Amino acid sequence: GASADAATYAALADRIGPVEFVGYEQYDNVDAEVKAIVVDGQERDALHHGSEGEVILSPTPFYAESGGQIGDTGTLIWDGGRGTVLDTVKPFGEMPVSRLRVDEGSLAVHEVVRASVPAPLRLDTTANHTATHLLHQALKDLLGNTVQQAGSLVAPDRLRFDYTHHHPLTDGQLRQIEDAVNDRVRANLDVTKTVMPLAEARQSGAVAMFGEKYGEQVRVVAAGDYSREFCGGCHVNRTGDIGIFKITSDRSLAAG
């Protein structure tokens, strides 16, 4: 069950220590060591051809699902074998764990592998993540600070932004928001990512996600002087990399 799995991962986190995530800058052919293999909540020495299990890699280019951004998929290649990463999650604390299917050969603990996230996947995801921040700011500018973010989804093929507001947007307002975001895209603003103490980040006016727990150090992602948010996700380096922003639907769920 989930609790037994959590105990396994807690013990592993204790033994392995922090896993290094390098996927902000490096996501192709990253040399990584297999620190552990878990199958059905139990540690294993190896994962054989045709089977699936969880692997803990360090360093890892695979982003674990969080902050609305979905978990990375990709490939592992090693001497005599290859596998497909199907998803990446954080089952315990901050430790990224990738679900792997072995397509060729078998994979042993301590093996050094080449780990890759496909470039289009990473680039499309970063474009959608930065666009989500621009959309958030555009909503605030248009509707005022009563707009509350209630969640989001950032995937390679789309983004979804959930917010609470007392009435739905008109077609005219949707167009205004789309135009405001595309103006920022065309302005090709620098997107900076800065790790800073929590108090300093709050003073800088960065927007924190409601209900999120933050450590002593936080990462702040800023698009020029336009938007500033606490965010651990993957982002473009300049807003122009987004290309174009298009709202395809706006609908109300339940009462909010």
* pLDDT of 256: 47
CA distance 242 to 223: 12
Mention every residue, 6+ apart, whose C-beta is less than 8 A from residue 53. 37, 38, 39, 44, 47, 99, 100
DSSP 72: P
* pLDDT of 238: 98
Is the bond leading into 59 cis (omega within 30 degrees of zero)? yes
Please state the pTM of the whole predicted model.
0.93
Measured from the Cβ of residue 149, the count of other Cβ atoms closer than 10 Å reads 20
CA distance 2 to 68: 22
Tell me the longest C-alpha to C-alpha distance in the chain.
59
* pLDDT of 1: 55
CA distance 157 to 75: 19
Helix (H, G, I), strand (E, B) or coil at 176: helix
* pLDDT of 214: 84
Q: Are 223 and 239 in contact (CB under 8 A)?
A: yes
* pLDDT of 166: 83
Estimate to the nearest angstrom the gap between the alpha carbon of 112 and the chain centroid. 24
**Element at 126 (helix H, strand E):** helix 119-143
Chain position carrying tokens 């089977």 = 51
Estimate to the nearest angstrom the gap between the alpha carbon of 223 and the chain centroid. 17
Q: Are 27 and 59 in contact (CB under 8 A)?
A: no
* Residue 208 amino acid letter: A
* pLDDT of 255: 53
Q: Are 157 and 124 in contact (CB under 8 A)?
A: yes
* pLDDT of 53: 97
Characterize the bridge pairing of strands 112-116 and 30-39.
Answer: antiparallel
* pLDDT of 118: 97
Given a cut of 70, the residues of the chain with pLDDT beneath it are: 1-4, 210, 254-256
Q: Are 151 and 221 in contact (CB under 8 A)?
A: no
For 10, 39, 40, 41, the CA distances from 1, given in Å and listed in that order, are 14, 12, 9, 8
Helix (H, G, I), strand (E, B) or coil at 125: helix
